[in-house]
Amino acid sequence: MSDPWGISGPAFLWLYGGLIVAVWLIVRPLLTLSARRAAGRGGQYQGGTPTVYQLAFLAGGPARAIDTAIAALVERGGLRVSSARTVTATGPMPADPLERAVGDAANRPQGRTTAKIHSMVRSSPALRMLASELEQRGLLASQAGVRTARTIGALLQLAVLVVGVARVANGVSLNRPITYLVLLLIPALVLAVRAWTTRKRTPEWAPTAAGKSLLNDVRQARLSAGHAASPYGSLLVGAASLVAIGGLAMYPDHELSAALMPDPRAYGGGGSSSGSSCSSGSSSSCSSGSSCGGGSSCGGGGGCGG
């Protein structure tokens, strides 16, 4: 009796295993990579000097853009930083949409931690607008393109699964041993499901070749003297541009940058106060009317439960 499909059972097992792995580890990533490279292949980008937030997005994605907006506001006095790692909006609402999103998030008397601000602003329209502006300028890989590539990759992984199922069905009808093949179907299924469910995962951001060369140009311009002459002049001064390239650690004021950096020990945005418990209570527990009365967050000699 000749082998089904012309391939012997054990040979198919090896081929199939290799196929599963190859699609997962090689074909899918290659598809995604080429989609990223696709945009802005020209190398030169069009449209004047980028804004500091566009630069930040290129250098460090949405998180860096948010950090830069925070830095800009702190420098201008639109955000106040406390040692409990919270920021509070002060003064008039900013005009820039990203700054406004940060200002709205920080608009609570006891402020919010920078981590919480990040989680709140992450999904704001201002960031989506930044990303699409950069895509249009050919500086950021088109998210649509990447998503298509991932969908194709997922379909390929599904196709691999289908091939295995067909082989099993074929084997059953021919009364061939299928135990090992069925076992291989498990990882095939798991990976196919995973590929499908993650095909639209939170878009990563990836600069194109043009985007990377722009970042490089700005970094070079920083290093060389005579900023005034550079076409990137506006991007070379101010705390915001320092943070755009280098992150919050680059904020020029040490005390403030220490208070702005997320607490490495904290496990999440959480509440508005860390550090000494209750000492942040004074504003909200004692606002309005002449000061607060008993039952304030730390009434009695007992603890506040933090």
Partner 1 sequence: MSLAADQAALLRALLADGPAPSGFSADRLRIEADVLRRKHSRLIAYLRPDLEESLGDRFFPLFAEFTAATPKTSDVRAREYADSFATWLISRGDLPRPRRRLFRRGP
Partner 2 sequence: MAELGIGIGWRQELDLSIARLPGVDWVEVVAENLHASHLPETLVALRSRGMPVLPHAVSLSLGSAEPLDTARVEHLAEITRALDAPLASDHVCFVRAGGLDSGHLMPLPRTREALDVLVANVRLAMSIIGTEFALENIAALLEWPDAELTEEQFLTELTERTGCLLIIDVANLYANARNIGTDPVAFLDGIPWERLAYVHMAGGVERGGVYHDTHAHPVLPEVLDLLTELRRRTDPPGVLLERDDDYPPDSELAAELASLRAAVTL
Residues of the shown chain interacting with partner 2 in the complex, contacts defined by CB under 8 A: 77-78, 80-84, 86, 88, 90-91, 109-111, 255-256, 259, 273, 275-301, 303-304
Q: Does 301 bind partner 1 (CB under 8 A)?
A: no
How many residues touch partner 1 (CB under 8 A)? 26
Stretch 63-102: interaction string toward partner 1, x if CB under 8 A:
----------------------------------------
Q: What are phi and psi of 112, to 5 degrees?
A: -140, 155
Partner whose footprint covers residue 266, from partner 1, partner 2, none (CB < 5 to 8 Å by kind) = partner 1
Distance, in Å, from the CA atom of 24 to the CA atom of 12, rounded to the nearest integer, reads 18
Report CA 141 to chain centroid distance, whole Å.
14
Select the span of 9-17, 59-67, 92-100, 288-296 touching partner 1 (CB under 8 A): 288-296
Among 271, 275, 277, 301, binds partner 1 (CB under 8 A): 271
Q: Does 276 bind partner 1 (CB under 8 A)?
A: no
Contact 123, 76 (CB under 8 A): no
- Closer CB to partner 2, residue 226 or residue 301? 301
- Closer CB to partner 1, residue 118 or residue 137? 118
Dump the DSSP string for 107-164. -STT-EEHHHHHHHHTT-HHHHHHHHHHHHTTSB--HHHHHHHHHHHHHHHHHHHHHH
H or E segment to which residue 80 belongs = strand 79-81
